[in-house]
A and B are shown apart, each in its own frame.
Chain A
Amino acid sequence: MKILGSEITPYKTYLNRRKFIKGSLASALLATVSSSAFANHDNNSSIYNKYLNENDKLNSYEEITTYNNFYEFGTHKKHPHLNSGNFKPRPWTIKIDGLVKKPQTFDLEKILSNVTIEDRVYRLRCVEAWSMVIPWQGFQLSELIKMAEPLSSAKYVQFVTVFRPEEMPGQQKRTIIWPYREGLRMDEAMNPLTILATGLYGHEMPNQNGAPIRLVVPWKYGFKSIKSIVEIRFLDTQPETSWETLAPWEYGFYANVNPNVNHPRWSQGTERRIGEFKRRETLMFNGYEKEVAHLYKDLDLTKFY
């Protein structure tokens, strides 16, 4: 899939363009009373076509925002869409600590004014054997890591989701140990494919998709792409991650999309692309083999799944 290069937009221009898109959306809304609110988000989807390869089609805004795994808002797929209305994604800060030159807390606006927001159209493959194609907007995680100035001893990055049980009803129940935690190896975190996403379909990140800022690691199962991040820690040892802690025999730290490594609950050989009837073959590293396979050349992927 084409993902890099061409259309890199500075954040300010990006915001302006977003306003423009919103403006045109508003007029579209007025013009076509009959069309649903969801349909309007897809009207400008053609601008993402240049990032798509022939086997992939964008999923609709409705599909992307009503079928989510975000247990902070409940364990059913529709819960995040239904239960995230009270979540307040602004103001937002991200705490940077661990093995860094100077631990500090960044205001999200400050981070955004220092990075380049670009379109990234990625396949997302859930460990439950379904997948989507999503037009994200975001910036490379490596840009934030440079701002954070980690020490050379830092080998891993850990991410922590916000804990606000009063705004996130799923957190009132101990389905998993809150707050949600995820992690990457430093070279995975620095890989140009790895982004922090702040929007999708040209809109601010919807609450149910991990507002205001979330990780997207397209060659790993979806649960690695942690949402609503409030803390990033640099470590010299492999951090604990939520699903691995809960069921280590099912979920590994790496969680690379791999059709050859079986999961006790789901065959990973095929997947259902949301919106399609027949299953399709799952691709090694979710189709990003060229970009990331070199990271794992010395790793036994059946052991480090």
Chain B
Amino acid sequence: MFSTRNFNRSKPVLFILILFPSLLWAYQFVTGNLGVNPIEKLMDELGLMALRLIIITLMITTLSNIKPLKSIVVLRRMIGLFAFYYVCLHFSTYIVLDHFLDMKFIIQDIIKRPFITFGFISFLFLIPLASTSTNNMIKRLGFKLWKKIHYLIYPVAILASMHFYVLVRADKTEPVIYMGIIILLLLHRIFKRLTRPQLAQ
């Protein structure tokens, strides 16, 4: 049931499912159905979607440690690239719709406001991940180096959740849940590393 073939088969469905929200929000935005403050709403939805997808990629790695679910890892690249897609939409909404390409203002905003600094660094770190996502790149870089580069997903996830945490004014429940999940997933990796037999003295 959880064979590589079945996971691969589910890809087209997953692709449409994950793409769909962005098309829906774009449609709602254009037709004026995204509420009273549509730019803010669009930016929030895109950002939240990106953060959730980043967390899902981390979860997939953890799940693939469970023997019968080993093959789930074939879904990771697509979801990771979708996370990048949503981050790009989120960031361009901020640049174009929210601030109308006022670069002087935007640069100041990125430097002065910690939550925007976190978000921006997180976005920068995602660029090497997305651009080395092809099989060809893995070959060219060698798996070891490629893997090292992809450890960047940890600061990306932490910074993205901090970006959200600092943004929320009072009820921090949702960002705290995301941070909690990320911390648990990271702890699991550390635990796995420490208990790896070849590392034992």
List residues of chain A with CB under 8 Å of any chain B CB.
Answer: 62-63, 66-67, 71, 75, 77-78, 128, 130, 173, 175-176, 246, 262, 264-267, 269-270, 272, 274-275, 277-279
Expressed in whole angstroms, the Cα–Cα distance for A220 and B35 within the complex equals: 25
Interchain CB contact under 8 A, A67 and B37: yes
Interchain CB contact under 8 A, B170 and A78: no
Interchain CB contact under 8 A, B39 and A63: no
The number of residues on chain B lying at the interface, defined by a beta carbon within 8 Å of a beta carbon of chain A, is: 20
Most chain B beta-carbon neighbours within 10 Å: one of A67, A173, A267: A267
List residues of chain B with CB under 8 Å of any chain A CB.
Answer: 35-37, 39-40, 98-100, 105, 108-109, 112-115, 166-167, 169-171
Interchain CB contact under 8 A, B36 and A62: yes
Most chain A beta-carbon neighbours within 10 Å: one of B35, B37, B99, B170: B170
Expressed in whole angstroms, the Cα–Cα distance for A54 and B113 within the complex equals: 34
Interchain CB contact under 8 A, A130 and B40: yes
Interchain CB contact under 8 A, B169 and A75: yes
Q: How far is the CB of B172 from chain A (nearest CB, A)?
A: 9
Q: How far is the CB of A299 from chain B (nearest CB, A)?
A: 24
Interchain CB contact under 8 A, A274 and B100: no
Expressed in whole angstroms, the Cα–Cα distance for A277 and B99 within the complex equals: 10
Interchain CB contact under 8 A, B100 and A278: yes
- At the interface, is chain A mostly helix, strand, loop or mixed? loop
**Contact among A75, A78, A279 with B35 in the assembled complex (CB-CB below 8 Å):** A78
Interchain CB contact under 8 A, B171 and A175: yes
Most chain B beta-carbon neighbours within 10 Å: one of A75, A272, A277: A75
Interchain CB contact under 8 A, B171 and A75: yes
Interchain CB contact under 8 A, A262 and B36: no
Expressed in whole angstroms, the Cα–Cα distance for A63 and B38 within the complex equals: 12
Interchain CB contact under 8 A, B170 and A77: no
Interchain CB contact under 8 A, B166 and A267: no
Interchain CB contact under 8 A, A173 and B37: no
Expressed in whole angstroms, the Cα–Cα distance for A66 and B114 within the complex equals: 30
Expressed in whole angstroms, the Cα–Cα distance for A183 and B111 within the complex equals: 33
**Contact among B39, B40, B113 with A264 in the assembled complex (CB-CB below 8 Å):** B113
Residues of A within 8 A of B100 (CB): 278-279
Tell whether A67 pairs with B166 under 8 Å between CB atoms, given A75-B171, A173-B171, A267-B109.
no
Tell whether A267 pairs with B171 under 8 Å between CB atoms, given A77-B37, A274-B37.
no
**Contact among A130, A265, A274 with B166 in the assembled complex (CB-CB below 8 Å):** A265
Of all chain B residues, which has the CB nearest A68? Answer: B36
